[in-house]
């Protein structure tokens, strides 16, 4: 099934309408940059939009944009960012998304002044939402999808601070197989974000739903601790890879908790969340829970896995 066909399933926007919605892609409307190009804010009628504009015209970049469109064409969930349409005209490749007024989780979590806005209740809402979105990708959607680049900057927040997973440029669709551990792929082009990457992916290019679970665990630790994962070490081949699992397990749980949360909520659920995260960042993929296990651990007060 060709990607072009899937892209065409979306409402097509004309280049001129998107261009005027974003003030001709003016610098003032720029939301940020990604590996693929630039994201702009725009207004069409009453609605606000975010436009992802592919700049590079290389085969790889076009492939990633098409990949993103073909993946997102398959999915719809309250915790996944919604694609409203696209534009393919001449040399232009645009993806048009719903606008997320609170931008990314990254902006809140690692900014000392904004971090305080994230009270425990909001963090729980974000953690549970991301877990639901990822579970949907892994198991509820018509196909199984491995995101491969889950991280704080790819979690967007709506006006009520509900999280939406974004950036499907690296996602892979895997078909068939009921045994969740069997659903894996292998790549020699290891791209993603060190620190969130599971050891088997960083070292050998093996990705699976369990490598997403690892990234989720790192994200969960970041949300609870308010600290960015920056643990790195050198491998035999002298590449730097994320070493989150050691960094976090070497600390006592209490030391991990974000100081802005301490008095209000060092409670049982907080330490439960750290335990869940530590299960997710285990070195061996087969020891990690599935997202379905994680969601039930997050929602049930008691679980045999804890």
Residue among 65, 69, 81, 213 that touches ligand ACK (CB under 6 A): 81
Query: What is the SS3 assignment for 5?
Result: helix
Q: How far apart are CA 66 and CA 173, in angstroms?
A: 13
Q: Which helix (H) or strand (E) holds 265?
A: helix 262-265
Q: How far apart are CA 152 and CA 131, in angstroms?
A: 13
For the CB of residue 49, give the shortest distance to ligand ACK in the complex, in Å: 8
Q: Is 91 a catalytic residue?
A: no
From residue 28 to residue 57, what is the string marking binding to ligand ACK with x (rule CB under 6 A)?
Answer: ---xxxx----x----------x-------
Q: How far apart are CA 169 and CA 65, in angstroms?
A: 6
Q: Quote the DSSP letter at residue 286.
A: G
Q: Which of residues 223-242 bind ligand ACK (CB under 6 A)?
A: none
Residue among 97, 108, 207, 243 that touches ligand ACK (CB under 6 A): 97
Q: How far apart are CA 248 and CA 253, in angstroms?
A: 9
For the CB of residue 289, give the shortest distance to ligand ACK in the complex, in Å: 29
Q: Determine which one of 91, 106, 119, 149 is catalytic.
A: 149
Q: Which of residues 99-118 bind ligand ACK (CB under 6 A)?
A: 99-100, 103-104, 106-107
Q: Quote the DSSP letter at residue 233.
A: E
Q: Which of residues 137-176 bind ligand ACK (CB under 6 A)?
A: 153, 156, 166
Token pair, residue 151, equals 């991280």
Q: Please say whether the beta carbons of 197 and 215 come within 8 A.
A: yes
Establish whether 1 is an annotated binding residue: no
* Site residues, ligand ACK (CB under 6 A): 31-34, 39, 50, 81, 97, 99-100, 103-104, 106-107, 153, 156, 166
Instruction: List the catalytic residues.
Output: 149
Residues belonging to the binding site for ATP are 52
């Amino acid at each position: 099934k060709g990607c072009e066909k899937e892209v065409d399933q979306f409402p097509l926007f004309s280049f001129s309408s998107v261009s005027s919605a974003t003030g001709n892609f003016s610098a003032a409307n720029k939301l940020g940059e990604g590996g693929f190009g630039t994201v702009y804010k725009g207004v069409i009628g009453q609605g606000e939009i975010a436009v992802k504009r592919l700049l590079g015209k290389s085969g790889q970049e076009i492939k990633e944009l098409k990949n993103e469109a073909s993946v997102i064409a398959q999915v719809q969930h309250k915790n996944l960012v919604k694609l409203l349409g696209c534009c393919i005209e001449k040399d232009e490749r645009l993806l048009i998304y719903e606008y997320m007024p609170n931008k990314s989780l990254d902006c809140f979590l690692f900014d000392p002044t904004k971090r305080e806005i994230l009270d425990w209740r909001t963090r729980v809402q974000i953690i549970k939402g991301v877990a639901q979105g990822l579970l949907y990708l892994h198991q509820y959607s018509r196909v199984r999808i491995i995101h491969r680049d889950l991280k704080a900057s790819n979690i967007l927040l709506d006006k009520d601070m509900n999280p939406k997973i974004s950036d499907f440029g690296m996602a892979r669709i895997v078909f068939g197989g009921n045994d969740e551990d069997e659903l894996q792929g292998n790549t020699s082009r290891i791209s993603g974000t060190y620190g969130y990457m599971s050891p088997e992916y960083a070292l050998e290019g093996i990705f699976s739903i369990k490598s997403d679970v690892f990234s989720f665990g790192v994200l969960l630790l970041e949300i609870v601790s308010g600290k960015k994962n920056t643990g790195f070490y050198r491998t035999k081949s002298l590449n730097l890879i994320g070493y989150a699992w050691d960094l976090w397990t070497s600390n006592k749980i209490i030391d991990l908790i974000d100081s802005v949360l301490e008095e209000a909520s060092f409670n049982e659920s907080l330490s439960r969340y750290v335990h869940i995260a530590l299960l997710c960042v285990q070195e061996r993929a087969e020891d990690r829970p599935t997202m379905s296990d994680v969601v039930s651990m997050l929602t049930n007060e008691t679980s045999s896995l804890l």
